[in-house]
Amino acid sequence: MDQIRADQVKLPKNQRYKIGDILSAIGLKKATYHDERKRIKNHTDKYADIKIKVKKITEDGKCRGRLTYGYRRVQDELIKLDVHIADAVVRRLMAELGVQVSLYNRHKNGKYSSYKGTIGKVAENLLEQNFNQAKPSLIRYSIQMLRKFA
């Protein structure tokens, strides 16, 4: 919205879009627009001092240069410092600061895989078969086509 208005500053006043027209096209109430502008303009981070404490706690908890304190340990340390916030807030602040535990995370991508590598011995290709076909076999393709029209 503000970008559209900024782009139109150079235009004569009668050629500019009106705020009400833009807001109705977006589907936003005028009061909501002004409230959000005010909120963005006067933004203060209410957790700024707590973020500093969280960063210090996690830095103190490093082991061999890696982060070892999870949100529960961080929250316990914050309670010792007489800072009482919810665990969800601690998790969110740690995510914003990028101080998640990296040492004990076994499932980095969260995806299960039972693959354990090549087991056993791979037999030699004595028949010289090509297992990487670029196009389908003509025999197999013709059989499929016959079945389709039969």
Render pLDDT for 7-42 as a digit per residue (tens, 0 to 9). 888 888 888 888 888 888 888 898 988 888 888 888
User: Where do runs of H (alpha helix) occur along the chain?
Assistant: 2-7, 19-26, 30-41, 48-60, 71-80, 87-97, 138-149
The three-class DSSP label of residue 66 is strand
| Whole-number average pLDDT of the chain | 84
* Residue 1 · residue 35 · CB < 8 Å: no
Q: What is the pLDDT of residue 104?
A: 62
How many angstroms separate the Cα of 20 from the Cα of each of 7, 10, 27, 32, 89? 17, 20, 10, 12, 37
Helix 71-80 × helix 87-97 angle, to 10° = 110
pLDDT tens-digit map of 54-72: 999 999 988 888 888 899 9
Q: Locate tokens 């990487």: which residue?
A: 132
